[in-house]
């Protein structure tokens, strides 16, 4: 069996950069007004929601670190599920991530990046102008194809780009957060803070915040290519979420005190106003540049991990043509066949995304109306995480400090459970949950291996 990678390619800083670069995309920039509206401008409610989401991934990272201290198996979450529960659950985790989670997220993130690039140059696009543009789709293919090529043939350059994009987006969020305080009115904090009489507003905000935090678990997929993964991945899973949480809170509170909540609730965009205050008439273009860098950093990190997932299943003989998919190119030290399968799956989801938008609303292909390929994976991802966390809580995995590990796992399970519960506040949640489960279980029909 061919195995990837004789020597670790990614150090601690790159691993941290990958997690931060994947998590911080366009979400925090344009979800913040939604969070302010969801909490009716109550900064305390929004802060509680941010803290809950942050604790969920911080304790999730601490829990996953219990696995990384023991092994650095290929496939990350696949390897952890296999070590705790055996090949059957490992197959379902791998199938879900390979066939549902990664390709759908990759397709949608690439499409979002294309929309913002069009917006930067003043071209019609659906996200910023609400206008359909057929040329968005071939441009999306170009963007996704470029980053697949970069990660297949120039892996180290992909890691360098991940570092650059991380520092760019961190700088942008910190600058905007601090400027919000400098040009705003901090007294708005005291004026808007009241104790919550119910949890509805917090839960609604939590759904948007969970979207902004999504992606932190992608890094373990390349655990086998990280230098000293038992040490560096463990640190990265703790350091990165903590940094993200602090930056998000600074940015959120900074924008919340920049203008009165009544203006945000009436539809005024605080980000646009702040950009105009700082940069004048070109302010919104400056915002778009930072958003594009953020999104492309997210796309790069997702693809970097995605191309290795079919390979992780193939070395376990869990996919058709496993022998071909498990081959690693000696020159580039990447599984090229696995990468091509990942690209193909991404193309399928991009087509479905096209049919659900332009196809349904422009070309009247009604069969795909309402299909939201980016919503399907989120809930199922948290379900799998809870199952893996439970392995620590139920002593399926030996840990150095069992009581501390159990506290981490219990806290992570509660945090993930709250986010799943919050999902019930969104329309269509039951449909998305059912679809995610059915699509995951459909992998069983392939009968790829007798003991799977």
pLDDT tens by residue, 218-232: 766 666 677 877 778
10 has which bridge partners?
Answer: 226
- Mean pLDDT of the 289-312 span: 87
Task: Give me the half-sphere count of Cα atoms (radius 13 Å) on the Cβ side of residue 386.
Answer: 14
Question: What six digits make up the tokens of 348?
Answer: 């399928």
Please give the Cα distance from 73 to 76 (Å, whole number). 6
Please give the Cα distance from 215 to 170 (Å, whole number). 16
Please give the Cα distance from 22 to 295 (Å, whole number). 8
Lowest-confidence segment of 148-157, 227-236, 241-250, 305-314 by average pLDDT: 227-236
Which fold, 12-446?
Amino acid/polyamine transporter I (1.20.1740)
Closest CA to 285 of 277, 294, 276: 276
- Mean pLDDT of the 439-444 span: 78
Question: What six digits make up the tokens of 411?
Answer: 């806290």
The structural domains of the chain, with segments of one domain joined by +, span 12-446
Question: What six digits make up the tokens of 92?
Answer: 């379902």
334 has which bridge partners?
Answer: 329
| Contact of 98 with 302, CB cutoff 8 Å | no
pLDDT tens by residue, 181-229: 888 888 777 766 666 566 677 877 877 787 778 777 776 666 667 787 7
pLDDT at 131 over 80: yes
Q: What are phi and psi of 334, to 5 degrees?
A: -135, 150
pLDDT at 274 over 80: yes
Please give the Cα distance from 61 to 334 (Å, whole number). 27
- Mean pLDDT of the 224-241 span: 79
Radius of gyration, CA atoms only, the chain: 21
pLDDT at 50 over 50: yes
Lowest-confidence segment of 14-28, 90-104, 185-199, 408-422 by average pLDDT: 185-199
Residue spans of beta strands (DSSP E) within 384-433? none
- DSSP per position, 214-259: TTTTSGGGGGGGBSSHHHHHHHHHHHHHHHHHHHHHHHHHHHHTTS
User: Would you put residue 319 in left (φ > 0), alpha (ψ -120 to 50) or beta?
Assistant: beta
pLDDT at 350 over 70: yes
pLDDT at 338: 92
pLDDT at 447 over 60: no
Please give the Cα distance from 53 to 212 (Å, whole number). 9
pLDDT at 2: 47
Higher pLDDT, 72 or 339: 339
Q: Which of 101-110, 338-347, 397-406, 420-429 has the highest mean pLDDT?
A: 338-347
pLDDT at 209: 81
- The SS3 assignment for 10 reads strand
């Amino acid at each position: 069996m061919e195995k990837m990678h004789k020597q670790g390619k990614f150090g601690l800083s790159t691993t941290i950069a990958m997690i931060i670069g994947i998590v911080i995309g366009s979400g925090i920039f344009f979800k913040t007004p939604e969070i302010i509206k969801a909490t009716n401008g109550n900064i305390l409610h929004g802060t509680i929601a941010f803290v809950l989401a942050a604790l969920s991934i911080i304790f999730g990272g601490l829990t996953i670190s219990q696995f990384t201290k023991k092994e650095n198996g290929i496939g990350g979450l696949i390897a952890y599920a296999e070590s705790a529960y055996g090949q059957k659950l490992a197959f379902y985790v791998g199938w879900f991530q390979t066939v549902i989670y990664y390709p759908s997220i990759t397709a949608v993130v690439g499409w979002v990046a294309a929309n913002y690039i069009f917006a930067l140059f003043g071209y019609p696009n659906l996200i910023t102008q609400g206008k359909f543009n057929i040329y968005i789709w071939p441009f999306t293919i170009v963007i996704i194809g470029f980053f697949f090529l970069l990660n297949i043939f120039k892996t180290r350059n992909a890691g360098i780009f991940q570092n650059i994009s991380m520092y760019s987006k961190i700088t942008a969020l910190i600058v905007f957060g601090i400027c919000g305080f400098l040009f705003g009115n901090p007294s708005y904090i005291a004026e808007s803070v009241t104790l919550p009489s119910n949890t509805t507003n917090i839960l609604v905000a939590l759904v948007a915040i969970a979207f902004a935090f999504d992606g932190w678990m992608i890094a373990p997929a390349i655990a086998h290519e990280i230098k000293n993964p038992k040490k560096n991945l463990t640190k990265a899973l703790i350091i990165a979420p903590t940094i993200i949480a602090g930056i998000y809170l600074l940015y959120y509170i900074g924008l919340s005190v920049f203008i009165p909540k009544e203006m945000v609730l009436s539809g005024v965009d605080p980000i646009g106003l702040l950009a105009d205050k700082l940069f004048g008439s070109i302010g919104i273009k400056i915002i778009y540049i930072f958003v594009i860098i953020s999104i492309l950093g997210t796309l790069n990190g997702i693809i970097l991990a995605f191309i290795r997932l079919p390979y992780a299943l193939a070395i376990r003989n869990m996919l058709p043509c496993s022998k071909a998919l498990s081959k690693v190119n000696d020159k580039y030290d990447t599984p090229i066949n696995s990468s091509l399968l990942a690209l193909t799956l991404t193309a399928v989801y991009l087509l479905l995304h096209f049919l659900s938008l332009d196809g349904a609303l422009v070309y009247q292909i009604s069969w795909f109306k309402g299909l939201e390929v980016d919503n399907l994976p989120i809930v199922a991802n948290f379900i799998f995480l809870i199952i893996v966390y439970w392995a620590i809580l139920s002593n399926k995995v030996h840990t150095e400090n069992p009581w501390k590990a159990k506290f981490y796992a219990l806290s992570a399970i509660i945090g993930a459970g709250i986010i799943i519960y919050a999902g019930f506040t969104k329309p269509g949640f039951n449909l998305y949950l059912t679809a995610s489960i059915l699509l995951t279980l459909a992998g069983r029909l392939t009968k790829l291996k007798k003991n799977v």
